[in-house]
Amino acid sequence: MIKYNISYKNPHRHFIDFKLTTSTNGKEKIQFQLPAWRPGRYELADFAQNIHKWQAYNKKGESLSFKKVIKDLWEVNCKNEEEITIEYSFYANQLDAGACYLDEIQLYINPVHCMYYIIDRLDEKYEIDIDIPNDYKIATSLAKENKKITAKNYDDLAESPIICSNTIQHDSYKVNGITFNLWFQGPCTPDWNKIKEDFALFTSAQITHFGSFPVDEYHFFFQITPYSSYHGVEHTKNTVILLGPGNEIMNKKYNSFLHISSHELYHTWNIKSIRPIEMLPYDYTKENYFRTGYVAEGVTTYMGDLMLYKSKVINWEKFITTQNQNLERHLMNYGRFNLSVAESSFDSWLDGYKLGSPNRKVSIYPDGALCMLMIDLQILINTNGTESLNSVMKKLYIEYGKKGKGYSENDFINICIDFGGEEIKDIFNNHVYNTKNYIPTLERKLNTIGLELKEKKNPNICAQFFGFVTIKENNKIIIKKVEPNSVSDIAEFVPDDEIIQINGKNISGSINDILGNCEEHTNFTLKKKFSEKKINLKKGNYYKLLEIKKSKKQIQKEKDLLKAWCN
């Protein structure tokens, strides 16, 4: 058994103190590994950069010699010792859905960031004591008794965030005899009845589609912030969702609250139970390269939203808005002509979730979701509405997830072909594994269920009129994207340029408002790295968008397939 004690002294400094005690099992040397990444985010994170004051002791409290073998692996000399202890501190000042945070209000730990496993002892049990104020509650999916927590092995520990606070709010609901816990940490006033009613509906819909639930209980952990935030991380028996501001959760942000919650719950099957072969088991020390991010996140993005509609938690307008958001993100990213969604999944380990070099890759979320929409519709067409993408995912769950087997790229493709016929191959060959334009295929598939694509004005005025996208950073208007061959590209606008004036005036307020009624020509003053430049741009039409609409004339077959898609 590996025993941990977790404590802290000055929470405003954000340092958590850890003490790990273990038997040596007669070994002369023991290696302690801290993960280099966390499941659910496919990039190296190097958590070891937050480790302070690492020390090793024997049972008498005498110092033991140790060395760092690589950036996140420590080796302790323990010859003739029966038991050793290591002590260290971890700097916890990152509040998101997958990190660690400590202040005067809460202790929040994602163990995969800050807790070690012993090489060749991943399956060993963990026992954890936490020194916290007496009025603090502990929210975790791990087994707990008072302030003592136990984990069956390191995978169990790594997948189990811990939140300790005296401001945690808790309630629960049941579906099919399974308890789903709702934990809220942060400033908000949940409408428990509404939340439980809506969550029970989409939870029931997801379980019905798969036939069973992979675990015996589940926990939603909501980290609520007073500022705008949106982030979710999936685990085997729980999810952490960061969302804010708290005073908008039950109104302006309620749709976001539902969508991210349905998405993360769907992950309980897809990626936590149904796992790619490259990640079974996880290798915490290095990249776990895989190309099926379009399954892990593309299917989940698409099905998470579809399940909300199928369960009648959201209406048609809200559902189709989610599909149009995916389409907008796809069309606003010229990386779609450079790297396929499968290769972009592989390359997440290269540049993570950053933009990277301009127009280099796509996102496995919206682009994967659009590919899955096309595959879902092709399966409906091929089976006359009797089967769907859910049939594929259910088969994966039964034949791979429930048997503890990892699926390969070919496994997923072949199951899709089994249900969708030979035409499915074109979607994989042209769009999933290549950069052929999505729009003609998407339009054909949509037409079969009585939907069509219509031109839509880009709501981002800079993008629509001039072909560039900006963000506000430290009260500066910074260019982030430029459409290739647009008027701004030809005029040598580039990412990281700052717009300091429009028509000779300093920018005050929203740039969208300023440009909303602009003339045919507009003067921009750019601040580049080593110079300022005045540029006159002629208004045009760039970053063109499309949106999905219901056709005004639908034949009966289209109506029947549309009904099969939605039910």
pLDDT tens, residue by residue, 241-280: 999 999 999 999 999 999 999 999 999 999 999 999 999 9
Query: For residue 424, which amino acid is it?
Result: I
461-538 matches 279-452+563-567 in CATH topology: no
Strands (E), 209-319: 217-224, 229-234, 238-244
How many percent of the chain have pLDDT more than 90?
95
The end-to-end CA distance of the chain, in Å, is 49
Taking Cα atoms as reference points, which of 259, 272, 352 lies closest to residue 309? 259
pLDDT at 142: 98
Encode pLDDT of 58-83 as tens digits: 999 999 999 999 999 999 999 999 99
The SS3 call for residue 462 is helix
**Residues 485, 543: contact at Cβ < 8 Å?**
no
Q: How many whole angstroms from its chain centre is CA 317?
A: 24
Taking Cα atoms as reference points, which of 180, 182, 127, 121 lies closest to residue 157? 127
Q: Which CATH class is domain 279-452+563-567?
A: mainly alpha
**Residues 138, 163: contact at Cβ < 8 Å?**
yes
Task: Quote the CA–CA distance of 228 and 230 in Å, as a whole number.
Answer: 7
What are the residue ranges spanned by the domains of the chain?
2-165, 168-268, 279-452+563-567, 461-538
pLDDT at 567: 86
* CA-only gyration radius of the chain, Å: 26
Query: DSSP character for 405?
Result: P
Architecture in CATH for domain 461-538: Roll (2.30)
- Tokens encoding 541: 């039409």
Q: Report which secondary-structure segment, H or E, holds 130.
A: strand 126-130
CA distances from 477 to 48, 358, 525, 552 (A): 35, 18, 11, 42
**Cβ contacts of 227 within 8 Å, gap of 6 or more:** 244, 245
> Which residues in the chain come in under a pLDDT of 50?
none
Third-level CATH fold of 168-268:
Neutral Protease; domain 2 (1.10.390)
The reported pTM is: 0.97
Taking Cα atoms as reference points, which of 361, 315, 314 lies closest to residue 337? 361
**Residues 373, 323: contact at Cβ < 8 Å?**
yes
Strands (E), 152-208: 162-165, 169-175, 178-185
pLDDT at 51: 98
Taking Cα atoms as reference points, which of 172, 161, 168 lies closest to residue 108? 161
pLDDT at 87: 98
Q: Is the dihedral of CA 161, 166, 167, 172 positive or negative?
A: positive
Q: Report which secondary-structure segment, H or E, holds 69.
A: strand 66-70
Task: Quote the CA–CA distance of 488 and 491 in Å, as a whole number.
Answer: 5
Tell me the CATH number for domain 2-165: 2.60.40.3650
Query: For residue 182, which amino acid is it?
Result: L
pLDDT at 242: 98
**Residues 125, 2: contact at Cβ < 8 Å?**
yes
pLDDT at 448: 96
Task: Quote the CA–CA distance of 386 and 140 in Å, as a whole number.
Answer: 40
CA distances from 371 to 85, 294, 475 (A): 51, 8, 38
Task: Quote the CA–CA distance of 301 and 159 in Å, as a whole number.
Answer: 21
Count of alpha carbons within 13 angstroms of residue 58, beta-carbon side: 13
Bond before 190 cis per omega within 30 degrees: no
